[in-house]
Amino acid sequence: MSKAATEAYASGPLTSYTEDEQMFRASVREFAEGEIRPRVEEMDEHAKMAPEVLKQLFELGLMGVETPEEHGGTGASFFMAIIGVEELSRVDPSVGVLMDVQNTLVNNALIRWGSPEQQKKYLPRLASDTVGAYALSEAGSGSDAFAMQTRAVDKGDHYELTGQKLWITNGNEAGIFVVFANAKPEEGYRGITAFVVEKGFEGFSVGKKENKLGIRASSTTEIILDGCKVPKENVLGEFGKGYKVSIETLNEGRIGIGAQMIGLARGALEHALAYTGERTQFKQPINQFQGVQFQLAEMATELEAARLMVYNAARMKDAGLNFVKEAAMAKLYSSRVAEKVSSKAIELYGGYGFVKDYPVEKLWRDSKIGAIYEGTSNMQLQTIAKLIIGK
């Protein structure tokens, strides 16, 4: 494949982008290639995000894409954020998910439900130098998120939060957390309330960091709330409406994970295309064998279908249309495609694909989380089924 053809394929159909979106994609790709790619192996090996990468994400405006300009952000579209996540994930899905959580979950929650005072206080920090995290899951509360045991007790001028959250992406780097707790457990899910919690609040601490299969440079931790004191003005949205905040925010977050997965699959396919054009067997490049060509064609076709699903869901969100079904479909399908394409890339590399000296084994390890976080594949199927059946 020629350089021009590779670039055209990587960009997708140009008619689907505005000039600003094309320029944004090119700038993120340049950053990912120049600054992230040389650090990928080391970050994965040591399971730590490079401080230089984190700093540059803020400097380039990637941590506040939808945040209004008056709060220090870019003031761009949701689709623009999706482009950024895809391009970063093409090189390292760990960096892609850090940007994704910041934009589609944390910033999004504050933009949609934050009071003017909360937005003025927190959005500029999240756009300039402070990482955010989203704390919903617990040991006994994964897919059944409303079974959470974290409690919020009214203490007059503040709430005291007590409980433990697990699987918190960005937990080590974050300074601001959107935390969910039940303030009226006797009312079931109607007692769940969202809070903006700062890392320095009394009674807050970050616990164990998980040693993961993939996306190792992205920190995943527990957080411990031991009578954590949260001012009443830090209730996010309405009291008792935390279930609404969580559901609607995660609907958008699933499109972000879809973008991470298609970026990952793109990276794996591009590696496979390059390698099969260089690897010679029986006196010719292996991409001249029809069996290999057909495998590459299948990979490219499934990736393109996944990309279009993710893009469509993102465009629908920006247009103000109901996108819940499309977001679930995009996440479900893109996670499957990412795992399949990265696995096939390993096979096309042969023995080299199985060792850490080459990049495709990492992308396969990274792909597995796509079927798990921000709603498992079974939960996406349940959502899709309910919406198409009409019950």
Residues 96-121 pLDDT 10s: 999 999 999 999 999 999 999 999 99
Residue 9 has pLDDT above 70, yes or no: no
**CATH for 133-241, options being 2.40.110.10, 2.60.40.1180, 1.20.120.450, 3.40.630.40:** 2.40.110.10
Fold topology of 244-389: Butyryl-CoA Dehydrogenase, subunit A; domain 3 (1.20.140)
Residue 14 has pLDDT above 50, yes or no: no
Q: How confident is the model at residue 235 (pLDDT cuts 50, 70, 90)?
A: very high
d(CA 271, CA 366): 15
- Alpha-helix runs per DSSP H in the chain: 3-11, 19-31, 40-46, 51-59, 78-91, 93-100, 108-113, 116-128, 242-278, 290-318, 324-349, 360-367, 377-389
d(CA 115, CA 113): 7
Q: How confident is the model at residue 3 (pLDDT cuts 50, 70, 90)?
A: low
- The pLDDT assigned to 193 comes to 98
> For residues 135 and 161, is the Cβ–Cβ distance under 8 A?
no
Please report, as a single letter, which amino acid is at residue 388. Answer: I
* pLDDT tens readout for residues 162-207: 999 999 999 999 999 999 999 999 999 999 999 999 999 999 999 9
The DSSP 8-state label assigned to residue 217 in this structure reads T
- The pLDDT assigned to 2 comes to 47
d(CA 271, CA 145): 38
Residue 66 has pLDDT above 50, yes or no: yes
Please give the share of the chain, as a percent, with pLDDT higher than 70: 96
Helices (H) and strands (E) in the chain, counts: 13, 10
> For residues 368 and 326, is the Cβ–Cβ distance under 8 A?
no
Positions marked active-site: 374
- The pLDDT assigned to 145 comes to 80
285's CB contacts (< 8 A; 6+ apart) are 276, 277, 278, 279
Distance from the Cα of residue 223 to its chain's centroid: 19
- The pLDDT assigned to 391 comes to 63
* pLDDT tens readout for residues 121-167: 999 999 999 999 999 999 998 888 888 999 999 999 999 999 999 99
225's CB contacts (< 8 A; 6+ apart) are 150, 161, 162, 163, 164, 165, 179, 181, 197, 203, 204
* pLDDT tens readout for residues 254-274: 999 999 999 999 999 999 999
User: Which residues are registered as beta bridge partners of 134?
Assistant: 178
Structure tokens at 336: 């499957």
- The pLDDT assigned to 13 comes to 52
Q: Which of 260, 253, 272, 221 is nearest to 369 (CA)?
A: 260
128's CB contacts (< 8 A; 6+ apart) are 58, 64, 72
Class of domain 3-131: mainly alpha
Q: Domain map of the chain by residue range?
A: 3-131, 133-241, 244-389
Q: Report the DSSP pairing between strands 158-169 and 151-154.
A: antiparallel
- The pLDDT assigned to 308 comes to 96
Whether the full predicted model's pTM is greater than 0.85, yes or no, is yes
Q: How confident is the model at residue 17 (pLDDT cuts 50, 70, 90)?
A: confident
Structure tokens at 199: 């890392």
* pLDDT tens readout for residues 345-376: 999 999 999 999 999 999 999 999 999 999 99
d(CA 179, CA 4): 46
Element of type H or E holding 26? helix 19-31
Residue 12 has pLDDT above 70, yes or no: no
User: Cα-Cα-Cα-Cα dihedral of 89, 93, 97, 100, to 10°?
Assistant: 0
> For residues 329 and 314, is the Cβ–Cβ distance under 8 A?
no
Residue 29 has pLDDT above 70, yes or no: yes
Please report, as a single letter, which amino acid is at residue 118. Answer: Q
